[in-house]
A and B are shown apart, each in its own frame.
Chain A
């Protein structure tokens, strides 16, 4: 939705005549159209396949799959939810040869956090969203580390904290990339108008 450059003076109340084109929406926050389902699932599958590659050996590397799933939980809570997060977490557990349920726990918790924050965060810019998501990811990863420490009686160190931080830092980038089709659509619309 693009704001029309108005030649008219804004209609002051009580001045009598005003044309319809001088009306402006009270809330000029951009209207977001929903992303297409194919795009949402396509990006998740792509990032999942990418996560199977051997580039995550260093512990503080960001968890891109978690980032994308959390992002879609926040922006498309009707399509992507906790079940998706749980299943992909389990798949990563099997691939990483870790304890079953470890990443599934992290993914479900982060998905829950994102879904609960949906209403509050949808109209904020990605940086604010990232700031809100940081504690969610840290708490989820921390809880999982604690559970692991309890079960296996070994502490993994603090690498996961960095991982959580790097994951969240990439949020604005994810916002740019994953909303690309919508932006293009909006440009086409504004061009037509």
Chain B
């Protein structure tokens, strides 16, 4: 332009249309790459780490109010908790004697069968930092990340059972998809008869589904589903859901059981992340860290 001798009177960048084109192409390619591959995760992590101080900053008033509230409520809370715990202790005393008996018996049987001893699970207690406002997914963001030993793939539980699975981790935060998220599938079994199934995030909100059941499968409303331990991400024996009803499709020959999760991610702020060995299960069956530990029942 200057070579032709014209004088630039006004500072002017590229035209608005050109800028729009650049940004639209950039956004679309980001969308495409992010929805198909995981190469953008480091960038997302970097931005997320940069965002973290701001997130903590704006949430500081809430946290302060909660801590003050908690301090004032502490006395009454302690009283009610004490009563509840006392009651629980009496109930548990019976159960624990029974459990001790069973454990001894189990050890004996395991030794007879040459099955290796079950290791107790290490865990990290986490608190919900915030719930991402996203219309498509049911996720929670926790206040601890890879610096506390959390890795993608680890299960998240509360006292009701499985809450979800960690899918993304930054140094200080971690993101978990809830049980009801479409991305999640959990190998489970029916507590009553040991039927192995896979529990999928439901198409209806707040529910999970057991798909690919044959029409004559022995599963009835009221059945409890627990994790089977197949696949390696979820340790065996965690409560998952209770079956509400069965939808049998005579045409396809398959049935779907709709179940309600037994955990309550919407009620509490504290959860437990089980530090299962995600590398081992990955190596053993090449499942994606975020994806489903998929195995056929």
A residues whose Cβ falls under 8 Å from a Cβ of B: 49-50, 52-54, 56-57, 59, 61, 81-83, 85-86, 89-91, 94-102, 104-105, 108-109, 112, 115-116, 147-148, 151-152, 154, 156-157, 159-160
A151 to B141, CA, bound (A): 24
Given the interface pairs A95-B51, A97-B137, the reply to whether A57 lies near B131 with Cβ below 8 Å is: yes
A57 to B137, CA, bound (A): 12
Given the interface pairs A86-B23, A104-B27, A147-B28, the reply to whether A99 lies near B168 with Cβ below 8 Å is: no
B residues whose Cβ falls under 8 Å from a Cβ of A: 16, 19-20, 23-24, 26-35, 40, 43-44, 47-48, 51, 54-55, 57-59, 130-137, 139, 141, 168, 175, 182
A153 to B51, CA, bound (A): 29
B30 A98 Cβ-Cβ under 8 A: no
Given the interface pairs A49-B54, A108-B24, the reply to whether A57 lies near B133 with Cβ below 8 Å is: yes
Q: Which residue of B lies closest to A53 (CB)?
A: B58
B57 A82 Cβ-Cβ under 8 A: no
Q: Which of B20, B55, B134, B182 contacts A52 (CB 8 A)?
A: B55
Q: How far is the CB of A115 from chain B (nearest CB, A)?
A: 5
A151 B31 Cβ-Cβ under 8 A: yes
A82 B20 Cβ-Cβ under 8 A: yes
Number of A-B contacts (CB under 8 A): 115
B168 A147 Cβ-Cβ under 8 A: no
**Centre residue among B16, B48, B57 by max chain A CB count within 10 A:** B16
Residues of chain B within 8 A (CB-CB) of A50 are: 58
Residues of chain B within 8 A (CB-CB) of A56 are: 133
A97 to B133, CA, bound (A): 8
A54 B20 Cβ-Cβ under 8 A: no
Q: Which of A57, A95, A105 contacts B28 (CB 8 A)?
A: A105
Given the interface pairs A96-B134, A97-B134, A97-B137, the reply to whether A105 lies near B47 with Cβ below 8 Å is: no
Residues of chain A within 8 A (CB-CB) of B32 are: 151
Q: How far is the CB of A118 from chain B (nearest CB, A)?
A: 10
B131 A54 Cβ-Cβ under 8 A: yes
B131 A101 Cβ-Cβ under 8 A: no
Q: How far is the CB of B73 from chain A (nearest CB, A)?
A: 22
Given the interface pairs A90-B47, A94-B51, the reply to whether A109 lies near B130 with Cβ below 8 Å is: no
7 contacts between A and B (CB under 8 A): A52-B59, A56-B133, A94-B51, A96-B132, A101-B28, A151-B35, A154-B182
Residues of chain A within 8 A (CB-CB) of B28 are: 101, 105, 147
B35 A94 Cβ-Cβ under 8 A: no
Q: Which residue of A lies closest to B32 (CB)?
A: A151
Q: Which of A90, A95, A105, A157 contacts B24 (CB 8 A)?
A: A105
Q: How far is the CB of A63 from chain B (nearest CB, A)?
A: 10
B48 A54 Cβ-Cβ under 8 A: no
Q: Which of A49, A57, A98, A105 contacts B136 (CB 8 A)?
A: A98
Q: Which of B33, B130, B134 contacts A98 (CB 8 A)?
A: B134
Residues of chain B within 8 A (CB-CB) of A97 are: 132, 134, 137, 139, 141, 168, 175
Residues of chain A within 8 A (CB-CB) of B55 are: 52, 95
A108 to B134, CA, bound (A): 20
B136 A95 Cβ-Cβ under 8 A: no
A152 B23 Cβ-Cβ under 8 A: no
